[in-house]
Amino acid sequence: MQHEKNSRAQEEDEPEATTGGRRQGLAGSIPSTREPANGKKEKVSIIRKGTDTLELTQRCLVNLDWLERLEHLKALAQSSIESDRAQAQLEFEEQILAVRGQGSGMYAYCLEDGFTRFSIAGANAKKIPAIYVQISSACLLNSGVVEATAILDRFSRQIATVEEEATISRVDFCVDFTTSHDLRVPIESWISRSQKINERTENGRFVGWDFGMGGVIVGRLYDKTFQAEKKKIEYLPFVWKAAGWNGDTVWRLEFQIRREPLREMEIVTVSDYLERQTALWAYLTKKWLRLTIPRNSKPDKKLWSTHPLWKTLSGITWDCGSQLPAIRLRSGRVPSDYALFVNGMGAITSFMAREGISDPKEGFDRYFQEAEQFHSEFSNGIGFHQYVDQKVALKGRRFNTILNSSEEGRPSHE
Protein backbone atom coordinates (compact mmCIF):
# COMPACT_ATOMS: atom_id res chain seq x y z
CA MET A 1 0.00 0.00 0.00
CA GLN A 2 1.06 3.57 -0.56
CA HIS A 3 0.38 4.04 3.13
CA GLU A 4 3.37 1.88 4.07
CA LYS A 5 5.70 4.02 1.96
CA ASN A 6 4.76 7.27 3.60
CA SER A 7 5.87 8.19 7.10
CA ARG A 8 3.63 10.22 9.38
CA ALA A 9 5.32 12.43 11.95
CA GLN A 10 2.62 11.78 14.52
CA GLU A 11 3.21 8.08 14.95
CA GLU A 12 4.35 6.15 11.86
CA ASP A 13 7.99 6.99 12.58
CA GLU A 14 7.67 5.04 15.82
CA PRO A 15 9.21 1.55 16.00
CA GLU A 16 6.88 -1.39 15.65
CA ALA A 17 8.15 -2.96 18.87
CA THR A 18 6.82 -1.25 21.97
CA THR A 19 8.37 -1.15 25.41
CA GLY A 20 7.11 -0.97 28.97
CA GLY A 21 4.96 -3.48 30.72
CA ARG A 22 2.37 -4.03 33.38
CA ARG A 23 3.28 -7.59 34.31
CA GLN A 24 6.90 -8.76 34.10
CA GLY A 25 8.06 -12.34 34.39
CA LEU A 26 10.70 -13.54 36.90
CA ALA A 27 14.13 -11.89 36.60
CA GLY A 28 12.83 -9.56 33.90
CA SER A 29 11.84 -12.38 31.52
CA ILE A 30 8.97 -11.81 29.10
CA PRO A 31 5.72 -13.50 30.16
CA SER A 32 4.00 -15.77 27.68
CA THR A 33 0.48 -15.90 26.29
CA ARG A 34 0.66 -19.52 25.16
CA GLU A 35 -2.32 -21.72 24.45
CA PRO A 36 -3.54 -23.71 27.51
CA ALA A 37 -1.26 -26.57 28.50
CA ASN A 38 -4.17 -29.01 28.53
CA GLY A 39 -4.51 -28.64 24.77
CA LYS A 40 -8.00 -27.19 24.99
CA LYS A 41 -8.74 -25.08 21.94
CA GLU A 42 -9.96 -21.58 22.76
CA LYS A 43 -13.09 -20.41 20.94
CA VAL A 44 -13.78 -17.23 18.98
CA SER A 45 -17.21 -16.40 17.57
CA ILE A 46 -17.76 -13.39 15.32
CA ILE A 47 -21.11 -11.79 16.20
CA ARG A 48 -21.20 -8.90 13.74
CA LYS A 49 -19.05 -6.47 11.81
CA GLY A 50 -19.92 -3.06 10.50
CA THR A 51 -19.26 0.64 10.20
CA ASP A 52 -19.86 2.35 13.54
CA THR A 53 -19.36 6.05 12.75
CA LEU A 54 -19.05 7.98 9.50
CA GLU A 55 -18.21 11.66 9.07
CA LEU A 56 -18.39 13.23 5.62
CA THR A 57 -17.81 16.64 4.06
CA GLN A 58 -19.45 18.01 0.96
CA ARG A 59 -17.93 20.84 -1.05
CA CYS A 60 -20.79 22.66 -2.72
CA LEU A 61 -22.51 26.03 -2.98
CA VAL A 62 -25.50 26.37 -0.64
CA ASN A 63 -28.37 28.30 -2.23
CA LEU A 64 -28.91 31.78 -0.77
CA ASP A 65 -32.63 31.20 -0.16
CA TRP A 66 -31.72 28.19 1.98
CA LEU A 67 -29.18 30.20 3.95
CA GLU A 68 -31.88 32.79 4.66
CA ARG A 69 -34.28 30.04 5.71
CA LEU A 70 -31.69 28.51 8.05
CA GLU A 71 -30.92 31.91 9.56
CA HIS A 72 -34.62 32.39 10.28
CA LEU A 73 -34.93 28.94 11.88
CA LYS A 74 -31.84 29.59 13.99
CA ALA A 75 -33.44 32.83 15.22
CA LEU A 76 -36.57 30.88 16.19
CA ALA A 77 -34.42 28.41 18.14
CA GLN A 78 -32.87 31.33 20.06
CA SER A 79 -36.23 32.88 20.99
CA SER A 80 -37.28 33.12 24.64
CA ILE A 81 -40.84 32.26 23.59
CA GLU A 82 -41.57 28.53 23.71
CA SER A 83 -43.95 28.53 20.75
CA ASP A 84 -41.18 30.05 18.61
CA ARG A 85 -38.57 27.53 19.70
CA ALA A 86 -40.94 24.68 18.96
CA GLN A 87 -41.04 25.78 15.30
CA ALA A 88 -37.26 25.64 14.78
CA GLN A 89 -37.55 22.54 12.63
CA LEU A 90 -36.94 21.40 9.08
CA GLU A 91 -38.64 18.46 7.40
CA PHE A 92 -36.62 16.40 4.94
CA GLU A 93 -38.15 13.26 3.46
CA GLU A 94 -39.29 11.29 6.55
CA GLN A 95 -36.90 13.08 8.90
CA ILE A 96 -37.77 15.97 11.21
CA LEU A 97 -34.58 17.88 11.91
CA ALA A 98 -34.28 20.21 14.89
CA VAL A 99 -32.41 23.43 14.11
CA ARG A 100 -30.16 24.45 16.98
CA GLY A 101 -29.84 27.99 18.28
CA GLN A 102 -26.03 27.77 18.01
CA GLY A 103 -23.77 26.61 15.25
CA SER A 104 -21.07 23.97 15.61
CA GLY A 105 -17.43 25.02 15.48
CA MET A 106 -16.81 26.94 12.26
CA TYR A 107 -20.27 26.06 10.95
CA ALA A 108 -23.05 28.61 11.36
CA TYR A 109 -26.00 26.21 11.33
CA CYS A 110 -26.59 22.83 12.95
CA LEU A 111 -29.50 20.46 12.28
CA GLU A 112 -29.93 17.10 14.02
CA ASP A 113 -32.37 14.29 14.70
CA GLY A 114 -30.49 11.95 17.03
CA PHE A 115 -29.29 9.78 14.15
CA THR A 116 -27.53 12.37 12.01
CA ARG A 117 -26.11 15.85 12.51
CA PHE A 118 -25.79 18.26 9.58
CA SER A 119 -23.51 21.28 10.00
CA ILE A 120 -23.81 23.95 7.31
CA ALA A 121 -21.40 26.81 6.70
CA GLY A 122 -22.54 30.43 6.45
CA ALA A 123 -22.33 32.54 3.31
CA ASN A 124 -18.91 34.00 4.22
CA ALA A 125 -17.19 30.69 5.02
CA LYS A 126 -14.96 30.06 2.02
CA LYS A 127 -12.22 27.79 3.38
CA ILE A 128 -14.27 24.88 4.71
CA PRO A 129 -16.62 22.42 2.98
CA ALA A 130 -20.16 23.83 2.94
CA ILE A 131 -21.72 20.73 4.55
CA TYR A 132 -20.30 18.47 7.24
CA VAL A 133 -22.36 15.48 8.39
CA GLN A 134 -21.88 13.07 11.30
CA ILE A 135 -23.70 9.75 10.89
CA SER A 136 -24.21 7.78 14.10
CA SER A 137 -23.95 4.07 14.78
CA ALA A 138 -27.73 3.83 15.22
CA CYS A 139 -28.32 5.46 11.83
CA LEU A 140 -25.89 3.07 10.14
CA LEU A 141 -27.66 0.12 11.78
CA ASN A 142 -31.01 1.48 10.62
CA SER A 143 -30.07 2.24 7.04
CA GLY A 144 -26.67 0.79 6.21
CA VAL A 145 -23.71 2.74 4.84
CA VAL A 146 -25.00 3.05 1.28
CA GLU A 147 -28.45 4.40 2.15
CA ALA A 148 -27.18 6.64 4.95
CA THR A 149 -24.78 8.37 2.57
CA ALA A 150 -27.43 8.52 -0.14
CA ILE A 151 -29.57 10.54 2.30
CA LEU A 152 -26.72 13.03 2.65
CA ASP A 153 -26.44 13.29 -1.13
CA ARG A 154 -30.17 13.96 -1.54
CA PHE A 155 -30.15 16.53 1.26
CA SER A 156 -27.12 18.30 -0.21
CA ARG A 157 -28.72 18.47 -3.65
CA GLN A 158 -31.91 19.90 -2.17
CA ILE A 159 -30.19 22.84 -0.50
CA ALA A 160 -27.09 23.34 -2.68
CA THR A 161 -25.46 23.02 -6.07
CA VAL A 162 -23.38 19.84 -5.88
CA GLU A 163 -20.76 18.87 -8.43
CA GLU A 164 -18.70 16.18 -6.68
CA GLU A 165 -19.09 13.21 -4.34
CA ALA A 166 -18.83 13.72 -0.59
CA THR A 167 -15.48 12.81 0.98
CA ILE A 168 -14.73 10.95 4.21
CA SER A 169 -13.42 12.93 7.16
CA ARG A 170 -13.48 10.03 9.60
CA VAL A 171 -14.67 6.44 9.67
CA ASP A 172 -14.89 3.92 12.52
CA PHE A 173 -15.46 0.26 11.77
CA CYS A 174 -15.53 -2.67 14.13
CA VAL A 175 -15.98 -6.36 14.81
CA ASP A 176 -17.99 -7.67 17.78
CA PHE A 177 -17.01 -11.14 18.99
CA THR A 178 -17.05 -13.52 21.93
CA THR A 179 -14.04 -15.51 23.00
CA SER A 180 -12.69 -17.75 25.74
CA HIS A 181 -9.22 -16.18 25.31
CA ASP A 182 -8.00 -14.04 28.20
CA LEU A 183 -7.57 -10.54 26.75
CA ARG A 184 -5.72 -9.16 29.78
CA VAL A 185 -2.39 -10.08 28.24
CA PRO A 186 1.05 -8.67 29.12
CA ILE A 187 1.54 -5.33 27.39
CA GLU A 188 4.65 -6.74 25.67
CA SER A 189 2.33 -8.98 23.65
CA TRP A 190 1.22 -6.00 21.56
CA ILE A 191 3.22 -4.83 18.57
CA SER A 192 1.99 -1.47 17.32
CA ARG A 193 3.15 1.41 15.16
CA SER A 194 1.96 3.65 17.94
CA GLN A 195 3.77 3.65 21.29
CA LYS A 196 0.58 4.81 23.03
CA ILE A 197 -0.78 1.56 24.43
CA ASN A 198 -3.00 1.81 27.51
CA GLU A 199 -4.78 -0.83 29.53
CA ARG A 200 -8.29 0.24 30.55
CA THR A 201 -9.74 -0.59 33.96
CA GLU A 202 -12.80 0.69 35.80
CA ASN A 203 -13.05 0.17 39.56
CA GLY A 204 -10.38 -2.50 39.31
CA ARG A 205 -12.14 -4.33 36.48
CA PHE A 206 -10.24 -4.92 33.25
CA VAL A 207 -12.32 -3.54 30.36
CA GLY A 208 -9.88 -3.41 27.45
CA TRP A 209 -7.06 -1.65 25.61
CA ASP A 210 -6.55 1.68 23.80
CA PHE A 211 -3.97 2.19 21.04
CA GLY A 212 -2.77 5.48 19.55
CA MET A 213 -5.16 7.75 21.43
CA GLY A 214 -5.06 11.28 20.01
CA GLY A 215 -3.55 10.17 16.70
CA VAL A 216 -4.93 9.96 13.18
CA ILE A 217 -5.44 6.22 13.69
CA VAL A 218 -6.89 4.95 16.98
CA GLY A 219 -7.52 1.34 17.92
CA ARG A 220 -9.71 0.04 20.74
CA LEU A 221 -10.30 -3.46 22.08
CA TYR A 222 -12.87 -3.40 24.85
CA ASP A 223 -15.70 -5.10 26.69
CA LYS A 224 -18.70 -3.88 24.73
CA THR A 225 -21.19 -5.66 26.99
CA PHE A 226 -19.90 -3.66 29.96
CA GLN A 227 -20.03 -0.40 28.00
CA ALA A 228 -23.55 -1.08 26.73
CA GLU A 229 -24.78 -1.65 30.29
CA LYS A 230 -22.96 1.40 31.63
CA LYS A 231 -24.16 3.77 28.88
CA LYS A 232 -27.59 2.13 28.64
CA ILE A 233 -27.25 1.29 24.94
CA GLU A 234 -30.45 -0.74 24.99
CA TYR A 235 -30.59 -1.77 21.34
CA LEU A 236 -27.24 -3.60 21.20
CA PRO A 237 -28.36 -6.85 22.91
CA PHE A 238 -31.18 -7.11 20.35
CA VAL A 239 -28.70 -6.59 17.50
CA TRP A 240 -26.43 -9.29 18.90
CA LYS A 241 -29.28 -11.73 19.52
CA ALA A 242 -30.43 -11.31 15.92
CA ALA A 243 -26.93 -12.43 14.91
CA GLY A 244 -26.94 -15.52 17.15
CA TRP A 245 -25.42 -14.16 20.37
CA ASN A 246 -25.54 -16.67 23.25
CA GLY A 247 -25.21 -14.19 26.12
CA ASP A 248 -21.42 -14.38 26.62
CA THR A 249 -19.34 -11.22 27.07
CA VAL A 250 -19.06 -9.38 23.76
CA TRP A 251 -15.72 -7.77 22.95
CA ARG A 252 -15.28 -5.13 20.26
CA LEU A 253 -12.20 -4.49 18.13
CA GLU A 254 -12.63 -1.05 16.62
CA PHE A 255 -10.49 1.30 14.54
CA GLN A 256 -11.00 5.02 14.00
CA ILE A 257 -9.27 6.42 10.92
CA ARG A 258 -9.16 10.07 9.88
CA ARG A 259 -8.81 11.74 6.52
CA GLU A 260 -4.98 11.82 6.21
CA PRO A 261 -4.21 8.07 6.44
CA LEU A 262 -7.32 7.28 4.42
CA ARG A 263 -6.08 9.43 1.56
CA GLU A 264 -2.65 7.80 1.73
CA MET A 265 -4.48 4.53 1.05
CA GLU A 266 -6.49 6.19 -1.76
CA ILE A 267 -9.72 6.06 0.25
CA VAL A 268 -11.45 9.37 -0.37
CA THR A 269 -15.13 8.64 -0.92
CA VAL A 270 -17.57 6.15 0.57
CA SER A 271 -17.37 4.02 -2.56
CA ASP A 272 -13.57 3.86 -2.13
CA TYR A 273 -14.03 2.81 1.48
CA LEU A 274 -16.49 0.03 0.69
CA GLU A 275 -14.25 -1.25 -2.09
CA ARG A 276 -11.11 -1.29 0.08
CA GLN A 277 -12.50 -2.31 3.49
CA THR A 278 -10.78 -5.70 3.50
CA ALA A 279 -7.40 -4.18 2.56
CA LEU A 280 -7.83 -1.45 5.19
CA TRP A 281 -8.71 -3.98 7.90
CA ALA A 282 -5.75 -6.16 6.91
CA TYR A 283 -3.37 -3.20 7.18
CA LEU A 284 -4.70 -2.21 10.60
CA THR A 285 -4.61 -5.74 12.06
CA LYS A 286 -1.37 -6.95 10.46
CA LYS A 287 0.84 -3.88 10.03
CA TRP A 288 -0.45 -1.23 12.44
CA LEU A 289 -1.40 -3.48 15.38
CA ARG A 290 -0.76 -7.15 16.18
CA LEU A 291 -1.25 -9.38 19.22
CA THR A 292 1.58 -11.89 19.59
CA ILE A 293 2.84 -14.72 21.75
CA PRO A 294 6.07 -13.40 23.38
CA ARG A 295 9.14 -15.64 23.14
CA ASN A 296 12.31 -15.15 25.22
CA SER A 297 14.23 -17.08 22.61
CA LYS A 298 13.45 -14.44 19.96
CA PRO A 299 14.55 -10.92 20.99
CA ASP A 300 13.18 -9.46 17.75
CA LYS A 301 9.46 -8.96 18.46
CA LYS A 302 8.68 -9.00 14.74
CA LEU A 303 9.48 -12.71 14.77
CA TRP A 304 6.98 -13.52 17.50
CA SER A 305 4.03 -15.64 16.41
CA THR A 306 0.65 -14.03 15.95
CA HIS A 307 -1.79 -14.91 18.73
CA PRO A 308 -4.54 -17.37 17.59
CA LEU A 309 -7.27 -14.86 18.44
CA TRP A 310 -5.57 -12.23 16.29
CA LYS A 311 -5.24 -14.66 13.39
CA THR A 312 -9.03 -14.99 13.40
CA LEU A 313 -9.70 -11.27 13.71
CA SER A 314 -7.12 -10.17 11.14
CA GLY A 315 -8.42 -12.72 8.63
CA ILE A 316 -11.91 -11.20 8.47
CA THR A 317 -13.01 -10.08 5.00
CA TRP A 318 -15.46 -7.30 4.20
CA ASP A 319 -17.88 -6.52 1.44
CA CYS A 320 -20.96 -4.31 1.06
CA GLY A 321 -23.38 -7.20 1.39
CA SER A 322 -21.76 -8.91 4.38
CA GLN A 323 -22.73 -6.42 7.06
CA LEU A 324 -25.63 -6.99 9.42
CA PRO A 325 -29.03 -6.33 7.80
CA ALA A 326 -30.60 -3.00 8.67
CA ILE A 327 -32.90 -2.93 11.70
CA ARG A 328 -35.29 -0.28 12.97
CA LEU A 329 -34.11 1.68 16.00
CA ARG A 330 -35.52 4.66 17.81
CA SER A 331 -33.48 7.83 17.93
CA GLY A 332 -31.26 8.19 20.99
CA ARG A 333 -33.07 11.47 21.71
CA VAL A 334 -36.34 9.66 22.43
CA PRO A 335 -36.79 8.63 26.09
CA SER A 336 -36.82 4.91 26.82
CA ASP A 337 -39.81 3.05 28.21
CA TYR A 338 -37.91 2.77 31.49
CA ALA A 339 -37.49 6.54 31.69
CA LEU A 340 -41.18 7.10 30.94
CA PHE A 341 -42.85 4.36 32.94
CA VAL A 342 -40.47 4.09 35.91
CA ASN A 343 -38.78 7.44 36.36
CA GLY A 344 -41.80 9.25 34.91
CA MET A 345 -44.15 7.81 37.53
CA GLY A 346 -42.45 9.76 40.31
CA ALA A 347 -44.75 12.79 40.27
CA ILE A 348 -47.95 10.72 40.13
CA THR A 349 -46.96 8.30 42.88
CA SER A 350 -45.84 11.24 45.06
CA PHE A 351 -49.22 12.88 44.50
CA MET A 352 -51.05 9.64 45.36
CA ALA A 353 -49.04 9.25 48.57
CA ARG A 354 -49.71 12.88 49.55
CA GLU A 355 -53.44 12.42 49.02
CA GLY A 356 -53.62 8.96 50.62
CA ILE A 357 -54.69 7.25 47.37
CA SER A 358 -53.67 3.65 46.68
CA ASP A 359 -55.84 2.82 43.64
CA PRO A 360 -53.93 3.64 40.40
CA LYS A 361 -57.01 4.58 38.35
CA GLU A 362 -58.32 6.90 41.04
CA GLY A 363 -54.82 8.36 41.42
CA PHE A 364 -54.46 9.12 37.69
CA ASP A 365 -57.93 10.64 37.47
CA ARG A 366 -57.39 12.84 40.53
CA TYR A 367 -53.95 13.90 39.34
CA PHE A 368 -55.41 15.01 36.00
CA GLN A 369 -58.23 16.95 37.66
CA GLU A 370 -55.94 18.71 40.12
CA ALA A 371 -53.43 19.51 37.36
CA GLU A 372 -56.23 21.20 35.35
CA GLN A 373 -57.27 23.24 38.37
CA PHE A 374 -53.70 24.24 39.27
CA HIS A 375 -52.86 25.48 35.76
CA SER A 376 -56.12 27.37 35.42
CA GLU A 377 -55.13 29.37 38.50
CA PHE A 378 -51.33 29.63 38.41
CA SER A 379 -50.07 29.33 34.79
CA ASN A 380 -50.27 33.00 33.79
CA GLY A 381 -53.70 32.53 32.34
CA ILE A 382 -52.71 30.15 29.53
CA GLY A 383 -54.64 27.22 31.00
CA PHE A 384 -53.85 23.54 31.37
CA HIS A 385 -54.42 22.43 27.77
CA GLN A 386 -52.41 25.26 26.25
CA TYR A 387 -49.60 24.58 28.72
CA VAL A 388 -49.54 20.90 27.72
CA ASP A 389 -49.67 21.80 24.00
CA GLN A 390 -46.60 24.04 24.37
CA LYS A 391 -44.61 21.43 26.27
CA VAL A 392 -45.52 18.65 23.81
CA ALA A 393 -44.54 20.88 20.87
CA LEU A 394 -41.15 21.63 22.43
CA LYS A 395 -40.47 17.98 23.19
CA GLY A 396 -41.73 16.95 19.77
CA ARG A 397 -39.00 19.20 18.35
CA ARG A 398 -36.44 17.86 20.81
CA PHE A 399 -37.28 14.23 20.04
CA ASN A 400 -37.81 14.88 16.29
CA THR A 401 -41.24 13.22 16.40
CA ILE A 402 -43.74 16.07 15.78
CA LEU A 403 -43.57 18.66 13.02
CA ASN A 404 -44.99 21.82 14.54
CA SER A 405 -46.44 24.92 12.85
CA SER A 406 -45.12 26.19 9.53
CA GLU A 407 -41.51 27.34 9.69
CA GLU A 408 -42.34 30.26 7.43
CA GLY A 409 -43.58 32.47 10.29
CA ARG A 410 -41.18 34.99 11.80
CA PRO A 411 -40.16 35.06 15.48
CA SER A 412 -42.70 36.67 17.78
CA HIS A 413 -41.95 40.15 19.07
CA GLU A 414 -40.10 39.86 22.38
**Residue 414 above 90 pLDDT?**
no
336: left (phi over 0), alpha (psi -120 to 50) or beta: beta
Query: Is there a domain that residue 286 lies in?
Result: yes
Does the pLDDT at position 331 exceed 70?
Answer: no
* Domain match, 371 and 388 both: yes
Residues 196 and 134 in one domain: no
Task: Please give the distance of CA 182 from its chain centroid, rounded to a whole number.
Answer: 27
Q: Average pLDDT over the chain, rounded to whole?
A: 83
202 and 285 share one domain: yes
> According to the model, what pLDDT value does residue 410 have?
42
376 and 393 in a single domain? The answer is yes
Q: What's the pLDDT score for residue 20?
A: 34
CA 134 to chain centre: 9
Same-domain pairing of 273 and 299: yes
> What is the domain extent for residue 150?
60-163
Residue 329 has pLDDT above 80, yes or no: no
- Whether 278 maps to a domain, the answer reads yes
Q: Is residue 206 part of a domain?
A: yes
Section 2-9 average pLDDT: 42
Residue-wise pLDDT for 21-34, tens only, equals 343 333 334 444 44
Ordered DSSP codes for 127-195: SS-SEEEEE-HHHHHHHHHHHHHHHHHHHHHHHEEE-S--EEEEEEEEEEEEESS-----GGGEEESSS
Look at residue 18 in the predicted model and tell me its pLDDT.
34
Identify the band that residue 159 occupies on the pLDDT scale cut at 50, 70 and 90.
Answer: very high
Residue 92's pLDDT is 86
| Residue 366 host element (H or E) | helix 360-378
Each residue of 211-260: pLDDT tens digit?
999 999 999 999 999 999 998 888 889 889 988 999 999 999 999 999 99
> What's the pTM value of the predicted model, to 2 decimals?
0.77
Q: Specify if 223 maps to a domain.
A: yes
Share of the chain above pLDDT 70, in %: 83
Both 30 and 13 in one domain: the answer is yes
3-state secondary structure 4-61: HHCCCCCCCCCCCECCCCCCCCHHHCCCCCCCCCCCCCCCEEEEEEEEEEEEEEECEE
Statement: residue 7 has pLDDT above 70: no
Do 238 and 305 reside in the same domain of the chain?
yes
97: closest CA among 85, 80, 120, 114?
114
Whether residue 304 lies inside any domain: the answer is yes
Residue 282 has pLDDT above 50, yes or no: yes
196 and 316 belong to one structural domain: yes
Domain ends where: 322, 348, 370? 322
CB 98 within 8 A of CB 88: yes
Report how far residue 95's alpha carbon sits from residue 118's, in angstroms, rounded to the nearest whole number.
12
Q: Are residues 254 and 355 in the same domain?
A: no
Q: Write out the E strands in 242-377.
A: 251-258, 289-293, 305-306
In a domain, 409, yes or no: no
Same domain, 180 and 134: no
Bridge partner residues of 96 (DSSP): 91
Residue 354 belongs to what H/E stretch? helix 346-355
Residue 378, domain member (yes or no): yes
180, pLDDT greater than 90: yes
pLDDT at position 406 is 54
Both 213 and 287 in one domain: the answer is: yes
| Backbone phi, psi, residue 264, to 5° | -60, -25
Assess whether 180 and 44 both reside in one domain.
Answer: yes
What per-residue confidence (pLDDT) applies to 160? 93
Boundary-marking domain end, from 163, 193, 208: 163
User: Is it the case that residue 166 has pLDDT exceeding 80?
Assistant: yes
Q: Of 70, 141, 139, 75, nearest to 107 (Cα)?
A: 70
Among the candidates 140, 163, 186, a domain finishes at: 163
* Angstrom distance (rounded) from CA 224 to CA 177: 9
Q: Is residue 80 part of a domain?
A: yes
- Average pLDDT, integer, range 114-131: 89
What's the pLDDT score for residue 15? 30
- Most confident segment among 96-100, 254-258, 373-377: 254-258
Domains: count for the chain? 3
- How big is the chain, counted in residues? 414
Sign of CA dihedral 141, 143, 147, 148: negative
